[in-house]
Amino acid sequence: MLSLQNRRLIWFQNRRAKWRRSLRETQLHQVQSALSTIISPEVKVHDSNLQLRNYNKSFINQGDSFI
């Protein structure tokens, strides 16, 4: 049987692990929400990758005009 000290230690470790997991899930949900506002839900994955590449190319080309 674990001593009371060890049980407390494990309880706090589990509590911190649960808090970190909850924080990661919250951050993931926030990122997914932000991305859903940028990319319309009707766009297929391969289409969104193509649009993103085209956007990056146009952004890079615009950056060249400042040089």
Q: Is pLDDT above 60 for 63?
A: no
Share of the chain above pLDDT 70, in %: 57
Burial status of residue 61 (CB atoms within 10 A of its CB: 0-12, 13-18, 19 or more): exposed
Closest CA to 35 of 20, 50, 52, 23: 52
For residue 1, what pLDDT is reported?
A: 73
Average pLDDT over residues 5-26: 95
Q: Quick one: pLDDT band at residue 16, thresholds 50, 70, 90?
A: very high
For residue 7, what pLDDT is reported?
A: 94
Q: Measured in whole angstroms, how far is the alpha carbon of residue 11 from the centre of its chain? A: 28
For residue 62, what pLDDT is reported?
A: 56
